[in-house]
Amino acid sequence: MPGRSAWLAPASLVAGLVLWEVLTRLAGLPAFILPPPSAVGQRFVELARAGGLWRHVLVTLLEILAGLGIGVTVAFALGYLIAKSRTLERVLAPYIVASQSIPVVAIAPLVVIWFGAGTLSKVMISALIVFFPVLVNTVVGVRSVPADLRDLLRSLRASRWQTFAKLDVPASLPVLFGGLKIGATLAVIGAVVGEFVAADQGLGFLITLNRGLYDTAGVFVAVFLLIGLAMLMYSAVSLLERRTLRWRNGPEA
């Protein structure tokens, strides 16, 4: 039943936390190895009261949003051009694939050297990791538009802009949103990787700092906040998808 299924996720989360608490207590593990959830919650309250935690969250969130915006914009524009030109695809494909064959962890130090240790380098790393999945989904989405619809607009003498706005974008949106969902979660990874390399603020920096202090509970606090940001980004894209594609389910949706 729909009502019962809505409680499955919260119930499983509570059960997992209770099991974690019980196992750590029974095993007698030191807090620096695996703290119980109660210790993580207590550490969260301490960091929140200190006042610096929300500054780190805000810094990372801004890096994620900026990286996602830049990555999606560039990927969509280039993906649309590639979808329209096989020649351009043959020219750019080797470079695009080569850029994705290198782990972002290996590229991150170079990006920091090129763009500095400030916010810009984290934004660029986040944009780089978002770029490829959105690009691929853009190409697939635009090329999946039915040919008969293109012929119809051509017969109506629609301009290129009208074809783009009235056909290409609406018809490819379901596929585009799939890439955007992936990109929204990957943007979090990109921002944190950049903060691992060089940063003096952000959740990635907080993880590095607490790891050096053997404050494992503090590390868990930052990790859980990152999970929350990723879920927030994914949920926001899902909500936008439902609102934008409401027409697919008819007026009653």
Summarised one tens digit per residue, pLDDT across range 96-139 is 888 778 888 888 889 989 998 888 999 999 999 999 889 989 98
The answer as to whether 33 is a domain residue is no
Distance CA 127, CA 67 (A): 4
Kindly state the average pLDDT of the residues 60-87.
92
Distance CA 134, CA 111 (A): 21
**Higher pLDDT among residues 253 and 208, named by residue:** 208
Distance CA 211, CA 213 (A): 5
Residue 151 pLDDT = 79
Phi/psi at 252 (5° precision): -70, -15
Give the pLDDT band (50/70/90) at residue 6: low
Answer yes or no: is pLDDT of 229 > 90.
yes
The answer as to whether 39 is a domain residue is no
Kindly state the average pLDDT of the residues 198-214.
89
Tokens 């695809």 belong to residue: 89
The answer as to whether 213 is a domain residue is yes
The answer as to whether 239 is a domain residue is yes
% residues pLDDT > 70 (the chain): 95
Residue 102 pLDDT = 81
**Higher pLDDT among residues 195 and 12, named by residue:** 195
Q: Give 178-194 as a DSSP string.
A: HHHHHHHHHHHHHHHHH
Residue 253 pLDDT = 46
Kindly state the average pLDDT of the residues 82-103.
85
The answer as to whether 1 is a domain residue is no
Comparing CA positions, the residue from 55, 56, 26 lying closest to residue 222 is 56
Residue 66 pLDDT = 95
Least confident among 38-47, 94-103, 211-220: 94-103
Answer yes or no: is pLDDT of 1 > 70.
no
Kindly state the average pLDDT of the residues 61-88.
92
Phi/psi at 184 (5° precision): -65, -35
Give the pLDDT band (50/70/90) at residue 73: very high
The range of the structural domain enclosing residue 199 comes to: 67-246
The answer as to whether 44 is a domain residue is no
Give the DSSP letter of residue 246.
G
The answer as to whether 151 is a domain residue is yes
pLDDT averaged over the chain?
86
Q: Total domain count for the chain?
A: 1
Cβ neighbourhood burial of 28 (10 Å; 0-12, 13-18, 19+): exposed
Kindly state the average pLDDT of the residues 77-88.
89
The answer as to whether 21 is a domain residue is no
Kindly state the average pLDDT of the residues 180-199.
90
Comparing CA positions, the residue from 103, 100, 107, 101 lying closest to residue 125 is 107
Residue 252 pLDDT = 47
User: Tell me, what CATH number does 88's domain have?
Assistant: 1.10.3720.10
Return the structure tokens found at 241: 């998808």
